[in-house]
Structure 1
Amino acid sequence: MSISAISETVRIGFPSVAQDYFSGDFSFDTHIITHPDTSFIVKVAGFSMQGAGIFDGDLLIVDRSLVAQEGDIVIATLDGELTVRRLTMDNQCHPILQTENPQHPDIQLYFDESITLWGVVIGNYHPQRPLPAR
């Protein structure tokens, strides 16, 4: 997918009228998605990650080829269900899938649970107006 690209950052305030802003096409595959063969777009349902700027209806870019590191936002499967959480560690270095909304519980991971880290979130698209229904 290609869209027109702007050649500079956008500042809050009034733009300079003396500049030509468009520099050609912009490809997500080239500029955002490093590993297109292992990257996916998933749609968020729920409110557990609002503190991280991830809201119900957002689109997340997920790279399955990356090894999750502490602090990454990850997609995990827990007992067959997908969830979005931040990967953190407790004082004993046990992994926790941390929520970013105090109304939702963190998930303390134990070795006997069926958990798979499905991928690492590398980007988030948050629409500023509702997306059209398809």
Structure 2
Amino acid sequence: MACAPTSDLIWLGPLRQGDGPLQLPLAVESVAAGFPSPADDYVEAAIDLNGILMPRPSSTFLMRVDGDAMRGDGIHHGDLLVVDRSVAPRSGSTVVAVHEGRFVLRRLEGRPAQWCLVASDATTAAIALQGEDPDLLIWGVVIHAVHHLCTPLSGSRRRGAVAGGSPEALGVEP
């Protein structure tokens, strides 16, 4: 379902403008997810989303989700993932792995030498990581997922379209 167009929307542009970060206003008060409270009408500070979402830019990649295997963990088709390759995976981490030459998104469970990649849906089989498997590699750890609440009206991705290219395009050997 797409949101109705409105003339009140303002495009903020890219997250970086020129050489410096784009500072966005941060409201003083948090938004209530339950019973709403009156909002203060001023700004606390400015924040740079790049600094918050990508604390280590040289090891961080953005990827789109293609499929619904992790819907139970709140990650949906079309969401944008922030994947950090410098973060050490641990049990419970959501990871991007390379399996049979393709990227897969799963939750890492178990312990070293007995790792397992698990989807949050009931229909996708787990992938056991036993021994040295050349066809399977934990590529990076998901540190943020940007979940879309409103589907864009134009320029939206088609379901099933190539979302982030191949592992080879990001420097991963098949």
After TM superposition, the score normalised by the length of structure 1 is 0.87
The runs of 5 or more residues in structure 2 that have no matched partner are: 1-14, 16-21, 157-174
Do structure 1's residue 107 and structure 2's residue 97 form an aligned pair?
no
1:49 matched residue in structure 2: 70
Deviation string 1:14-33 (CA, Å, 9 cap, x unpaired) is 3314x134334321222232
Query: 1:15 corresponds to which letter in structure 2?
Result: S
Post-superposition CA distance 1:74-114 (Å, at most 9, x none): 00001211000000017x95110011000111111222522
Q: Evaluate the alpha carbon distance shift between residue 95 and residue 8 of structure 1 in structure 2; reply closer, same or farther with a 3 A threshold.
A: same
Report the Cα distance in structure 1 between the residues aligned to 2:76 and 2:42, rounded to whole angstroms: 30
Deviations 1:46-69 (A, max 9, x none): 111011000001111111111111
SS of 1:67's partner is: coil
Q: 1:119 aligns with which of 124, 140, 148?
A: 140
Residue identity over aligned pairs, in percent, reads 27
Match of 1:15 among 26, 37, 42: 37
Q: Which runs of 4+ in 1 moved over 4 A?
A: none
SS of equivalent to 2:50: helix
User: Displacement of 1:71 after TM fit?
Assistant: 0.7
Instruction: Tell me, in whole angstroms, the C-alpha distance in 1 between the residues paired with 2:31 and 2:105.
Output: 30
Q: Given the two structures, how large is their TM-score scaled by the length of structure 2?
A: 0.69
Q: Please give the secondary structure, in 2, of the residue aligned with 1:9.
A: coil
Question: Which residue, 98, 115, 131 being the options, matches 2:118?
Answer: 98
Q: How many residues align?
A: 132
In structure 1, list runs of 5 or more residues that go unmatched.
Answer: none
- Asked whether the 8 Å contact 1:49–1:99 carries over to 2, the reply is yes
1:8–1:21 Cα contact (<8 Å) kept: no
